[in-house]
Structure 1
Amino acid sequence: MNKVLLIDDDAELTTLLQEYLVEEGYDVVTDTDGRAAIAAAAGNTVDIIVLDIMMPRMNGIEVLQRIRKLSQVPVLMLTARGDDVDRISGLNLGADDYVPKPCSPGELAARLRAILRRAGQPAAGVSTDTIRAGQLVIHSGSRSAEWRGEALELTGTEFSLLEVLARSAGQLVSKQEISKRAFGKPLTPFDRRIDVHISSVRQKLGLREDGQSWIQSVRGQGYQLLVD
């Protein structure tokens, strides 16, 4: 049973979501203070955190920033509908996904399942092979990666994206294909989460000797992982 920490000061929405997620088989703990999420991340006591951005005392963006200094626990952000700034800020800081409020319990449960699937051990039938692409080594079974002989710290979402590119290293992979293979769903219009997460992975890989990124983009088409 996956343990979910739900941080939101909207009591009515929190109760609704908690009841639904419990029926779906989750162990759900709620709180109204973002500091509880930081403590849970530090103690490694939950499997995933659902974090509202607009909260008193400490907003969700600041909480996420502190969490990422302590842990790579999956985090799903609840954002105001239409607020692209909050969404992009959250993704830039390492959030795994976001859901606009007001959200349906069913949509939230589906997003949680997808994130946990990306962050956890592979299910039956999922490849557990090792992928080598230049100086990058991807271990699909343990969902871990090495870059230039050193462990590469990635969120679950970042790992899924990099694995897709590594399997097609040296080839252009369309955004639509990346979305289907990494997220299990088609890319929707104006969805920038792939771009934001790729930007984070680029920073972790650093630059090539020629000053270019190891992950090249083709405007309007997709991304390509270079191997030499």
Structure 2
Amino acid sequence: MLTPIVPVPRVLVVEDEEQLARLVAAYLRRSRFDVRTARDGAEAIAVARQWHPDVVVLDVGLPGADGIEVCRTLRTFSDCYVVMLTARVEEVDKLVGLSAGADDYVTKPFSPRELVARVQTMLRRPRVRAAGTAGSPLTVGALALDPAGREVLVHGEPVQLTRTEFDVLLALASHPGLALSRRQIIDAVWGPGWVGDERLVDVHVGHLRRKLGDATASPRLILTVRGVGYRIGAGR
């Protein structure tokens, strides 16, 4: 019997600092990733359209179109994972980067080994499944989720979510009435090996509320539980 060929994960590194790009690419190749590099936004978009990477490691401070703009463009045709690299430590930079559709961020300076570990963890991410339903469709008020088809409907209308947004929503919907801490959501979506700022969850919840039409001032679908985290509500 022939051994099935396992596809090698593809990682596109978008970084204008040539030395850093080579270093990151070398570490990724040692971990048996198929790696390509790009030095600016236009090249990154062109490569991504043609090559279809699984993960894009994307520097925020690119010449020309910055990483945030590149990420927004990527999200118009790809659901690849996106890890943003930023040299700016202000929280607003991180949040703006994630609002463009990024899945995670790493602040410079960073260890290339840490970045590789983050990419590996991302690609090994467990796909959340509703307890005891083996991926059966879920309905919460006007919200309907199909884990198998990875589709979301609100009042019968489809809603486009990134992979991470879908997984966060599914983690909550899989436990109706139960308040989940940020750490529990991270363990379910990013995996227990993930290390970083747990407020990453808050950013994705904010995106979900906006896309689902769940008013930030008085949400009814994704509820904040003070001192704990979030739980799914009855919707409307």
Could you say whether these structures have the same fold, taking a TM-score greater than 0.5 normalized by the shorter chain as the test?
yes
Give the one of 64, 69, 72 matched to 2:76: 69
Matched residue type, 2:11 = V
Higher mean alpha-carbon deviation, 94-103 vs 57-66, is at 57-66
C-alpha spacing 1:117/1:175, structure 2 compared with 1 (3 Å): same
CA offsets per residue over residues 18-75 of structure 1, 9 Å max, x none? 1111111111001111112222444462222111011222211122222223333221
The offset of 1:197, in angstroms, is 0.4
Aligned match of 2:23: 16
Residue identity matched to 1:129: G
Which residue, out of 1, 4, 7, partners 2:14? Answer: 7
Percent identity reads 38
Q: CA deviation at 1:107?
A: 1.4
Q: Which amino acid aligns with 1:107?
A: E
In 2 relative to 1, CA 138–115 (structure 1 residues): closer, same or farther, beyond 3 Å? farther
Partner of 1:199: 206
Contact 1:49–1:76 (CA<8 Å) still a contact in 2? Answer: yes
Report what 1:168 is aligned to: 175
With over 3 angstroms needed to count, the CA separation of the structure-2 counterparts of 1:186 and 1:21, relative to structure 1, is closer
**1:13-52 counterparts in 2 under 5 A?**
13-43=20-50, 45-52=52-59
Structure 2 residue runs without a partner (length 5+): 1-7
Q: Which runs of 5+ in 1 are unaligned?
A: none
In the alignment, structure 1 residue 129 sits paired with structure 2 residue 135: yes
Specify the code of the residue in structure 2 equivalent to 1:28.
V
Q: Deviation string for 1:74-110 (max 9, x for gaps)?
A: 2110011623222110111110101111222221122
Change in Cα spacing, 1:147 to 1:169, as seen in structure 2 (3 Å) is same
Pairs within 5 Å for 1:176-195:
176-185=183-192, 191-195=198-202
Q: Could you tell me which amino acid in structure 1 is paired with residue 182 of structure 2?
A: K
| Residues matched between the structures, number | 222
Instruction: Give the secondary-structure state (helix, strand or coil) at the position aligned to 2:37.
Output: strand
Q: Secondary structure at the match of 1:130?
A: coil
Matched, 1:215 2:219: no
What residue in structure 1 maps to residue 4 of structure 2? none
Q: Which amino acid aligns with 2:28?
A: L
Give the Cα–Cα distance (whole angstroms) in 2 for the partners of residues 186 and 82 of structure 1. Answer: 23
What amino acid sits opposite 1:132 in the alignment? L
Residue 177 of structure 2 aligns to a residue in which SS? coil
